[in-house]
Each structure stands twice: as structure tokens, then as C-alpha cells.
């Protein structure tokens, strides 16, 4: 594949995945926030104001490192202050604010934010537009800004958003309209597809697992003939001498065990078979986890995903399951499904449109996998008869084992080595170069 085509594909993927809205770069001084969450049957959100701003607005004396015990005696006064300065109205009339749980968010250098979670009354059905009043702190600080962000709206295709600002308030803004009409079930479904594509593309561990599975796709492992009179022995993991297999002589011997395929079709069938088993497996567990039927500790799942890369790569050097490569794809694909399920929780899904969400996200994951394989497979097929391919297959598998076991140790013992940050930065740099980030 030439450079021109590769760059064009990268541009297409970038257009498919990303848009370029006005973005908020995290929290900032002299700002307070309203993060809105628009559900199928209700509207809610959270109002965030710094303790420093509350001190200024209400002549309080909150210290640094504020605790809930120190905050609680002043909550009613804070709520009353907010209710006078924040309001929601639609064509149906006023929508009263009902406060829910209160939290504290420590933003290090920016100070501590008091989080006032709320829910609006009389929002069934969801209005097409809301007139939002926001006048927090403008009388005390004319340079203050209030930012309204729609953090979640399934039908609008917005998930876990804290950067795309919808409305900006200052001392002269007054009431502004928040339009909720640009939403539909198809738009939400399309957004879930893009979420699936995006998360397979940024999931380096999932990509490396696919690479380990696809590396041998364009070669056939030679079968050792059984000596006359030799009894067939049942395979056992105890029979494998890992040090011997990974020694220089063992790796050279492993290279000789592979010969390139002669035809395109058998190699393609191998890839389709492996990816199909992987797809079936992670679809099962993704659905079970998202529906709350089965739940596993995320640390354990992430550690097993790392181990799956190592095992799949080691299988390329010394066969563990004979020609039943699908066992690795299906068995560990189950744990990759639990890994994908954690993403659905992170983007804030509440349970609405769950069938469409699962369908769209799975479809996106498959499109993402297809894109990866469309890049990997032609390259491997093109070089399969070169002297470099056996080295890439074997030494590439060794490299994958090293990375995977590094991750396995990190995730199993909850430690963070500097190399992990370096790899993450390097991976993101590559994505930026090709236009995905």
C-alpha cells in the first residue's frame, strides 16, 4: 500500500471519527459550570462552583481542603443562592430545580469545586428548548464566566462530554436558549457506532491482541511427523520449556516451522475465522456486562487482557493448542468484551436505548477491527515470501510478549512504571501523525 493511499485512509478515518467543535480545556479560574444530562424521560445535571467563589459570593470562610463536614452547615444557604440565580423555563413553563446529592471535586491548582447535582421537574415530555438563566457571581465579579455544557444526550450523540461548550454566560448575557431539537434515535445510534470505532482505535491492548492473532495469517505452520512407534502424548502446559523456546536457537528453529501461503484465499479465510470467533466472544460478554447480568473486577479483566496478548504471541512461537487458534481468539475475546463494557459505563449510559447502544457499539468495534485488519493483512501478504517475514512473525511475537507481560505486572499489582507513560505518549503521537487525534 503506497504512502498516498495510506494518508488518504487516515484522513477518511479522522473525518469519520472526529469533529472540531469549540472546546473547553478542562476547568479554569473565574469560571463556574452547568453540566446538563438529557435522558429519554428526564433532565438533570450538576452545577460546579469553586469554594473560593462561594466565599466571595456569600462571605463564607471555606478553607483549602474543604471537607463535607465543613460544607454541610452551609448547604441550605448555598442552594438558596443558586436557586435565585439559576433557572430553567420552556414553552411548558418553569422547570423547578430539585437538588440531589452534593459532592466535592478537587482540581489541584484550580482549587476545590462544590458539586450540586440536580434534576428538573416537569420535563416529561422533554422540551424542544430550554431558556436557561445563569447569574452566579456576576454581581461580585464582572469578569466571571458561566459555562453550560451538555455532558450527556444519547439522541444527540453526546456521551461523557466535558469539553464542548453550548452556552457561555457573562455579566451581560442574561437568559439564553439551549436548543434540544437536533436529536434523533438515528443520530444516537450513529454516535454509538463512532464510539465503538474510536475505542477499538485507541485501545492499544486490543490492537496488539489482533496483531498477535493476524501475524501468522499468511503462513502455514509445518507439522512435525510422528516417529514410527511413538505413542501419541496428550498436550500439557508443563511440557513447554519457555526458556528453551525463547532462546536464540529456539527462535531460529521456530522461524523454520513456517512457510508462506501460496494463495490469497486461504489466508483471508484464516483471518475471517479468527476475527469471527473474537467478535462472537466479546459481543457475548459485552452484552452480559452492559445489561448487568455478569460483572467482573476491572483490574482483573485488564490484567487478563494483557496476558491474552502474551499467550497469543507465544502461540506463534510454540503452538499451545495445535491448529485450534480459534480457542485463543474466542476464550480471551470473552475478557476483551468485559473490557469494552467498561467503556459504556465511562461514557455515562444510564440504561436507555440499551439494545441500540449495544448494537451500534458492537458494529463500531467491528468496523474498527476491519479497518485495522485492512491495514495489517495486505502488508503481511505482500511480504510473506520475503526473508523478513519469519523474523517479523517470531521476533514481533517476542516483542508483544514483552509488552504484554509488562502490562500484566502493572495491572496485577496496581503499579505504574515510567515506560507505560512513554508508550502511551508515543502511541498518541502516532495517532496524531496519521490524523486520528
Mean pLDDT of 92-117: 91
Asked if the bond preceding 366 is cis, omega within 30° of 0, the reply is: no
| Residue of 410, 391, 413, 29 whose CA lies nearest to 205 | 410
Higher pLDDT, 420 or 138: 138
Q: Give the residue among 138, 152, 108, 104 at the shortest CA–CA distance from 353.
A: 152
How large is the average pLDDT for residues 125-131? Answer: 94
User: Strands of 97-106's sheet, edge to edge?
Assistant: 97-106, 112-120, 43-50, 31-38, 145-153, 165-169
345 or 116, which is more confident: 116
- Strands (E) located in 271-366: none
98-102, 113-117, 408-412, 419-423: least confident range: 419-423
Q: Are strands 145-153 and 31-38 parallel, antiparallel or unpaired?
A: parallel
Count CA atoms within 13 Å of residue 235 on its CB side. Answer: 9
Say which residue, 406 or 107, is predicted with more confidence: 406
Assigned domain for 227 exists = no
E strand residue ranges, 312-359: none
Q: Residue 256 half-sphere exposure, CB side, CA atoms within 13 Å?
A: 6
For residues 45-58, average pLDDT: 95
User: Which whole number is the average pLDDT over 144-166?
Assistant: 90
Listing DSSP states for 122-142 in one string gives S-SSPPSEEEEEE-TTTTT-T
Q: Which one, of 338, 283, 284, lies nearest residue 308 by Cα?
A: 338
234, part of any domain = no
Q: Is the pLDDT of residue 82 over 90?
A: yes
197 shares a domain with 179? no
| Cis amide linkage into residue 7, ω under 30° from 0 | no
Beta bridge partners, 38, equal 43, 153
Instruction: For residues 160 and 402, give the distance between their C-alpha atoms in angstroms, rounded to a whole number.
Output: 34
- Distance (Å, whole) CA 384 – CA 14: 30
Report residue 416's pLDDT band, with 50, 70 and 90 as the boundaries.
Answer: confident
Which conformational region is residue 426 in: left (phi greater than 0), alpha (psi within -120 to 50 degrees), or beta? alpha
Residues 199, 205 contacting (CB under 8 angstroms): no
- Which of 36-40, 81-85, 268-272 is the least confident region? 268-272
**Per-residue pLDDT for 27 more than 90?**
no
Both 295 and 309 in one domain: the answer is yes
- Partner residues linked to 120 by β-bridges: 97
Q: What confidence tens digit (pLDDT) does each residue in 288-329 have? A: 988 889 989 989 999 999 999 999 999 888 877 766 778 889
Q: What is the mean pLDDT of residues 45-71?
A: 94
For residues 268 and 2, the model is more confident at: 268
Is 412 within a domain? Answer: yes
Whether residue 269 sits in one domain with residue 146: no
Number of compact structural domains in the chain: 2
For the chain, helix (H) and strand (E) counts, in that order, are 14, 12
Instruction: Identify the DSSP state of 220.
Output: E
- Whether 226 maps to a domain, the answer reads no
Question: How many CA atoms lie within 13 Å of 391's alpha carbon, on the beta-carbon side?
Answer: 4
254 and 158 co-located in one domain? no
| Dist CA 395 CA 382 (whole Å) | 18
Q: Does residue 250 share a domain with residue 132?
A: no
Which pLDDT score is estimated for 233?
45
35: left (phi over 0), alpha (psi -120 to 50) or beta: beta
- Residue 31: inside a domain: yes
Q: How far is CA 343 from CA 73, 210, 260, 319, 368, in A?
A: 37, 19, 38, 33, 15
Is 211 found in the same domain as 149?
no
The reply to whether 161 and 253 lie within a common domain is: no
Neighbours of 182 (CB within 10 A): 11
Indicate whether 13 belongs to any domain: no
Determine what percent of the chain is predicted with pLDDT higher than 90: 49
230 falls within a domain: no
Cα torsion 83, 84, 90, 93: sign: positive
List, as one string, the DSSP characters of 392-423: HHHHHHHHHHHHHHHHHHHHHHT---HHHHHH
For residues 263 and 404, state if they share a domain.
Answer: yes
Which are the contacts of 172, defined by CB distance < 8 A and separation ≥ 6?
none
Confidence of residue 1 (pLDDT cuts 50, 70, 90): very low
191 Cα distance to chain centroid: 14
Torsion angles phi and psi, residue 141, rounded to 5: -140, 100
* Residue 149, helix vs strand vs coil: strand
Confidence band for 367, pLDDT divided at 50, 70 and 90: very high
In a domain, 167, yes or no: yes
pLDDT of residue 283: 93
Residue pLDDT, tens place only, 174-183 = 899 999 988 8
Whether residue 156 is found in the same domain as residue 286: no
**Which pLDDT belongs to residue 265?**
87
Name the range with the highest mean pLDDT among 34-48, 158-172, 232-246, 261-275. Answer: 34-48
Is a pLDDT exceeding 90 seen at residue 89? yes
Is residue 249 predicted with pLDDT exceeding 70?
Answer: no
pLDDT of residue 309: 93
- DSSP symbol at 227: P
On whether both 178 and 192 belong to a single domain, the answer is no
How far is residue 321's CA from residue 340's CA, in Å, rounded to a whole number? 26
Interval 176-219: pLDDT, tens? 999 998 888 898 999 999 999 988 888 889 999 999 999 988 88
The angle at the Cα of 7, spanning 279 to 271, to the nearest 5 degrees, equals 25
Give residue 96's domain range. 23-183
pLDDT value at position 56?
94
Residue 313 pLDDT: 92
Is the same domain home to 206 and 148? no
- Indicate whether 174 and 206 sit together in one domain: no
Quick check: 154 and 40 in contact, CB under 8 A?
A: yes
The yes-or-no verdict on residue 237 having pLDDT over 50 is no
Residues 351-375 have a mean pLDDT of 90
**Is the four-CA dihedral 66, 70, 76, 80 of positive or negative sign?**
negative
Amino acid at each position: 500500500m503506497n504512502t498516498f493511499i495510506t494518508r488518504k485512509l487516515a484522513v477518511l478515518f479522522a473525518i469519520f471519527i472526529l469533529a472540531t467543535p469549540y472546546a473547553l480545556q478542562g476547568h479554569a479560574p473565574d469560571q463556574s459550570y452547568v453540566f446538563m444530562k438529557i435522558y429519554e424521560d428526564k433532565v438533570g445535571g450538576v452545577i460546579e462552583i469553586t469554594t473560593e467563589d462561594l466565599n466571595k459570593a456569600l462571605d463564607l470562610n471555606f478553607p483549602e481542603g474543604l471537607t463535607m463536614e465543613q460544607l454541610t452547615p452551609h448547604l441550605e444557604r448555598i442552594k438558596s443562592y443558586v436557586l435565585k440565580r439559576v433557572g430553567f423555563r420552556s414553552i411548558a413553563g418553569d422547570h423547578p430545580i430539585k437538588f440531589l446529592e452534593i459532592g466535592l471535586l478537587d482540581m489541584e491548582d484550580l482549587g476545590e469545586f462544590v458539586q450540586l447535582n440536580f434534576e428538573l421537574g416537569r420535563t416529561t415530555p422533554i422540551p424542544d428548548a430550554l431558556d436557561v438563566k445563569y447569574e452566579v457571581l456576576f454581581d461580585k465579579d464582572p469578569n466571571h464566566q458561566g459555562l453550560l455544557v451538555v455532558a450527556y444526550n444519547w439522541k444527540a450523540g453526546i456521551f461523557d462530554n466535558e469539553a464542548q461548550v453550548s452556552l457561555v454566560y457573562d455579566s451581560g448575557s442574561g437568559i439564553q436558549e439551549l436548543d434540544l431539537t437536533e436529536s434523533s434515535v438515528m443520530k444516537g445510534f450513529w454516535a454509538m457506532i463512532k464510539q465503538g470505532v474510536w475505542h477499538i482505535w485507541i485501545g492499544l491492548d486490543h490492537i496488539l491482541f489482533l496483531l498477535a492473532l493476524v501475524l501468522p495469517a499468511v503462513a502455514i505452520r509445518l507439522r512435525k511427523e510422528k516417529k514410527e512407534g511413538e505413542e501419541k502424548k496428550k498436550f500439557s502446559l508443563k511440557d513447554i520449556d519457555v526458556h528453551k523456546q525463547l532462546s536464540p536457537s529456539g527462535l531460529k528453529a521456530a522461524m523454520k516451522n513456517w512457510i508462506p501461503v501460496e494463495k490469497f484465499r486461504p489466508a483471508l479465510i484464516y483471518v475471517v475465522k479468527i476475527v469471527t470467533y473474537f467478535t462472537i466472544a466479546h459481543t457475548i460478554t459485552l452484552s452480559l456486562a452492559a445489561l448487568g447480568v455478569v460483572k467482573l473486577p476491572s483490574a482483573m479483566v485488564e490484567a487478563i487482557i494483557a496476558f491474552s496478548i502474551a499467550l497469543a504471541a507465544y502461540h506463534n512461537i510454540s503452538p499451545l493448542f495445535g491448529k485450534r487458534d480459534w480457542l485463543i481468539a474466542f476464550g480471551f475475546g470473552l475478557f476483551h468484551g468485559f473490557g469494552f463494557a467498561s467503556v459504556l459505563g465511562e461514557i455515562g449510559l444510564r440504561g436507555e436505548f440499551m439494545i441500540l447502544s449495544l448494537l451500534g457499539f458492537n458494529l463500531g468495534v467491528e468496523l474498527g477491527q476491519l479497518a485495522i485488519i485492512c491495514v495489517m493483512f495486505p502488508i503481511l501478504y505482500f511480504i510473506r515470501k520475503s526473508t523478513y517475514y519469519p523474523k517479523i512473525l517470531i521476533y514481533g511475537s517476542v516483542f508483544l510478549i514483552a509488552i504484554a507481560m509488562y502490562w500484566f505486572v502493572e495491572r496485577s499489582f496496581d503499579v505504574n512504571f515510567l515506560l507505560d507513560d512513554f508508550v502511551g505518549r508515543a502511541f498518541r503521537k502516532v495517532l496524531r501523525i496519521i490524523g486520528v487525534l
